[in-house]
Amino acid sequence: MSAIDPKSGEKVPLFNPRKQKWNMHFYWDESGTKIIGRTKIGWATVTALKMNLPDIVSWRSIIVGIGGYPPQL
C-alpha cells in the first residue's frame, strides 16, 4: 500500500511494522498525544491513516494522565 507524502507530494509506501522500525519513521510530540512523522513514509502514514484525529488525541491525553501513554518503543 502507498500514500502521498503531504510535504513532497510523492507517492511513498505506508509504514510496515513487520519490516520497519517505528522509531525510525515516527516520534511522539512533547505532550505524548500526537504521532509525528520523521520521514516521508512517516508523514504519509500519519496522514493516510488519520492517526491524529481530535478524538484519538483526546483519548490519548486521558491515557497520558494515568501514565499509560505514550508507550516506550
Residue 73 has pLDDT above 60, yes or no: no
Count of structural domains within the chain: 1
Residue 36 domain-assigned?
A: yes
Instruction: Answer whether 0.85 is exceeded by the pTM.
Output: yes
Task: Give the DSSP per-residue string, 11-60.
Answer: EEEPP-TTTS-HHHHEEE-TTS--EEESSHHHHHHHHHTTTT-HHHHHHH
The reported pLDDT for the residue numbered 60 is 93
The grid cell for 54 is 481530535
Mean pLDDT of 51-62: 96
Residue 55, domain extent: 2-65
* Within-domain flag for 19: yes
Question: Which of 31, 57, 26, 19 lies closest to 43 in space, CA to CA?
Answer: 26
